[in-house]
Structure 1
Amino acid sequence: MAKVKRNHWLAAAQPRSFTGLMGLYESNYRRFERLAPELDLPFEQARSVGQDATLYLQVLERCRYTTTIHLTYWFGEGEQARADPDLTLRVYRDAQLAEAVYCDARSRYASLAGVPDIDDAVLDTQWPRNLLLNKWLAYCLAQGHSFSAANRPRRAGAD
């Protein structure tokens, strides 16, 4: 029996096409869901110690159908500390999509920073930012990161 390839639509989608971008958002969602299985995120901040570094998650905004999250590694200490990659993502729980909406311009990914006005260049900027998110989520999972541990902080009233 032939093995069904997961995310086959992503491989078949044309890069920088609307269909390809939506496929990438769906893949981002699936990977984030593996990283944080409780998508209602019953905490405001959490960290996951993996094989290489500690991954930090902070909930920035909660809305009825979306959650906006800051996800990063922190390197260094005190004033010398830097986040890299420094990504903000929005998880659309109803549509089951996750979009990288911001990448800090001070990071080495400066060309991916900011969210442009909607015009013909949107796909050219959204594609690399979300491809970075997609590959980084895969890397975090491979490093053993997870926010599903029972001892993580809980939001008041989340129990």
Structure 2
Amino acid sequence: MINSKQTGLAGYGCEDVDPKGFVSLMDLYENNYIRLRRLIPDVSALPDNYISQLPGCLSLHMTVLERTPFTTTLYLTYYFEESTRSVAEPALTLRLYHDAHQVEVLTGHLQHGRQRFDHIPEKAIKIKWKLNRFLYKWLGYCLYLGHSFKPHQKKYESTDPATRLIANLYSR
């Protein structure tokens, strides 16, 4: 058994967890679902685009890409303004499995464009673990700051072309 000191996961709630194992990945999906539902208490009641804004914090952008009876696909990101454009980072596409109470990262864009995961082979559990572990930490940080997406919050229409393109692709 790999211990948490060997994997560098000590202190992150991953004691006695093999980060390459399928069972631990499913456990992480469940923990991400719990955190995401704290951030978005009622996914079905939200419009397709929302921003969580807090004083002194980056605005957290959420776009619903697809809704089905058993799943919802979301895009979650911050936007950073650069000299000529706005950059989405981190940019994660998530699938919520309502019946299984799990959240999976489908695609991810991390580290300011240096690392992008669009198509993840089925056997790449280590990559899935990395992306979903990042989501776990990011959701914890967003909750710590006080971010939330609730039906009474202000709706927005994204002006970012990339977000609109992604939303249009999933709405077909």
TM-score range, shorter chain: 0.7 to 0.9
Distance (Å, rounded) in 2 between the aligned partners of 1:151 and 1:52: 16
Aligned pair 1:59/2:64, yes or no? yes
Distance (Å, rounded) in 1 between the aligned partners of 2:153 and 2:120: 39
In structure 1, the residue matched to 2:126 is 124
SS at match of 1:13: coil
1:63-142 alignment runs, 5 A limit = 63-76=68-81, 79-104=84-109, 107-108=111-112, 110-111=114-115, 113-119=117-123, 122-142=124-144
SS at match of 2:35: helix
For the Cα contact (< 8 Å) 2:109–2:115, is it kept in 1? no
Alignment gaps of 5+ in structure 1: 1-7, 155-159
In structure 2, the residue matched to 1:21 is 25
> Structure 1 residues 75 and 111, CA, compared in 2 at 3 Å: closer, same or farther?
closer
For the Cα contact (< 8 Å) 1:29–1:96, is it kept in 2? yes
> Structure 1 residues 100 and 110, CA, compared in 2 at 3 Å: closer, same or farther?
farther
Coordinate RMSD, CA, aligned:
2.4
SS at match of 1:104: strand
Alignment gaps of 5+ in structure 2: 1-12, 157-172
> Structure 1 residues 153 and 108, CA, compared in 2 at 3 Å: closer, same or farther?
closer
For the Cα contact (< 8 Å) 1:85–1:109, is it kept in 2? no
> Structure 1 residues 11 and 34, CA, compared in 2 at 3 Å: closer, same or farther?
farther
For the Cα contact (< 8 Å) 1:13–1:23, is it kept in 2? no
TM-score, structure 2 as length reference:
0.75
Question: Which runs of 4 or more aligned residues in structure 1 lie more than 6 Å from their structure 2 counterparts after TM superposition?
Answer: none
